[in-house]
Amino acid sequence: MPELPEVETVVRDLRPLLVGRALGAARRSAFALRRPWDDAWDDALADRRVVGLRRRGKWIVVDLDDAARLQVHLGMTGRLTVHPADEAVAVHTHLAFPLDDGRELRFNDARRFGSAAYFADEAALQAFFAAQKLGPEPFDLDPAAWWRDLHGTSRMLKPVLLDQTVVAGVGNIYADEALFEAGLRPTRRGSGVTRAQAEKLRRAIVAVLTRAIERRGSTIRNYVGGSGLGGGYQDEFRVYGRTGEPCPACKGPVRHLRLGGRSSHYCPHCQG
């Protein structure tokens, strides 16, 4: 599933292509996405001009000139890209929005776990995020609040990092990489983390995500950014997906375990 760096890359790629452009009514495939498209949204979006693009957690938000919002979630295999209108439409393209410059914004999703939705205004969008109990952005984590969240739970650190109500946007890849950078095992209990370790982890999360954004995220299977280009951070993984390979720090083997049904990768020597 695309995580924060991948979604941020899509937003940055699409921003110069979409801002100032007017949308036409959506063209849809016969297959529903995770959230069914409401027919009323066609008229609501028609002739609306894009005034901005941003990210919240793993969601893409398209700001429109009447204060309405188009929200997109890439799910596991979603791609949101701009194409010439006369270019052949790829299989698994489930939404296409004509643009006033002769191109189309297309949402392609082979597994259809992604979604797109219309919100009448910012308040409606924020109400949706509140209902999801979406936590703060990793770059906005308050050190004192972060320490309280970790120290106040007996859960293991890896599940805490994946909990979108605690911190928004972090997924399996970057949780493993941040825990390695902080020198903490994924199985360490939050209640057993010192204040200094919590701060080291907070800084590691920010550092790892920042580097990943600079490399356009990670392409492991089918992720591409809004320009259609892949990411490059997969070439810099230190533990994720490297089971049995030498740790880049101590050269011991990277280990693998499953926590809550998710794969976790760590160095037993470097991560205490």
Out of 48, 55, 56, 58, pick the active-site residue.
Answer: 58
Verify whether residue 58 is a known catalytic residue. Answer: yes
Residue 15 in tokens = 């921003």
Residues 117 and 35 sit within 8 Å (Cβ to Cβ) = yes
Q: What residues contact residue 259 under an 8 Å CB cut-off, 6+ apart?
A: 156, 158, 159, 186, 187
Contact 81, 228 (CB under 8 A): yes
CB-count burial class (<10 Å; 0-12, 13-18, 19+) for 228: exposed
- From the candidates 12, 34, 203, 262, give the one annotated as an active-site residue: 262
Q: How far apart are CA 266 and CA 261, in angstroms?
A: 16
User: Any catalytic annotation for residue 2?
Assistant: yes
Rounded Cα distance, 128 and 6, in Å: 22
The answer to whether residue 215 is catalytic is: no
Give the angle subtended at the CA of 63 by the CAs of 61 and 69, to the nearest 5°: 70
- Would you name the residues annotated as active-site residues? 2-3, 58, 262
